Amino acid sequence: MNQLFEALDFVENPLYEQIIDDIGKQKYAIVDHFFSTEEVDALRASILEKHEEDAFKKAAIGNKFDELIVKSIRGDVILWIEEAKSNYAEGLFFNKINDLVGYLNKTCFLGILHKEFHYAIYPKATFYKRHLDTFKNDDRRKLSFVCYLNHEDWQPENGGELVLYLDDNGQEVEKVVYPFPGRVVIFESQILEHEVKPVNTKRLSITGWLKTR
């Protein structure tokens, strides 16, 4: 009887189904307005407030690299977000993430047990060179998740495009994604190489990973 109720509990979500379909077919999904204008505004206020508090650290790659080398690879500054200490805006963020993860786990058997997210600010003239999001000897990151917190009037000329390097029957194809506010990009961490092109204006985002262990 309990099992029956659990089955009845499941409501198909067309947006999530589209995401699952897209990732299955093309290794990535792009969803515009995943976060509402109100949610993006709240998260933007939060990222900027925390930046002012100087809580951001220069993004580091692994931990042994020389700072100069790091800078030549990536120039963003990041701040990890702790769900347990969420403010109002972060609470809205995690509500949506947890709903999506619950759905993925119910329908795709992905076994996402952990997640990690950080704010990222790319100051003018910074970038993140082409890379894969998985570390050597660590394959726990399954899906990469990026959500943009830029202003409503963000223009393509501001730069900072995310470029996904796709494989089209052995041919490399570039998929250019503009960091428009509310837009979310989800992709297979172990498969898709990608980069962030140099920005001409400060670029705001949350990046994270859904992990198996």
Ligand X SMILES: O=C(O)CCC(=O)C(=O)O
Site for ligand X in 105-124 (CB under 6 A): 120
Number of chain positions touching ligand X (CB under 6 A): 9
Task: Please give the residue whose beta carbon sits closest to ligand X in the complex.
Answer: 162
CB of 149 to ligand X, least distance (A): 10
CB of 128 to ligand X, least distance (A): 5
Distances (CA, A) of 72 to 35, 58, 59, 125, 176: 32, 13, 12, 11, 22
CB of 130 to Fe ion, least distance (A): 9
CB of 190 to ligand X, least distance (A): 13
In the list ligand X, Fe ion, none, the entry touching 205 (Cβ below 5 to 8 angstroms by class) is ligand X
Site for ligand X in 138-157 (CB under 6 A): 146
Is 77 an interacting residue with respect to ligand X (CB under 6 A)? no
- Residue closer to ligand X by CB (options 16, 127) is 127
Decide: 116 and 209 in contact? Cβ < 8 Å: yes
Question: Which residues contact ligand X (rule: CB under 6 A)?
Answer: 120, 128, 133, 146, 162, 194, 196, 205, 207
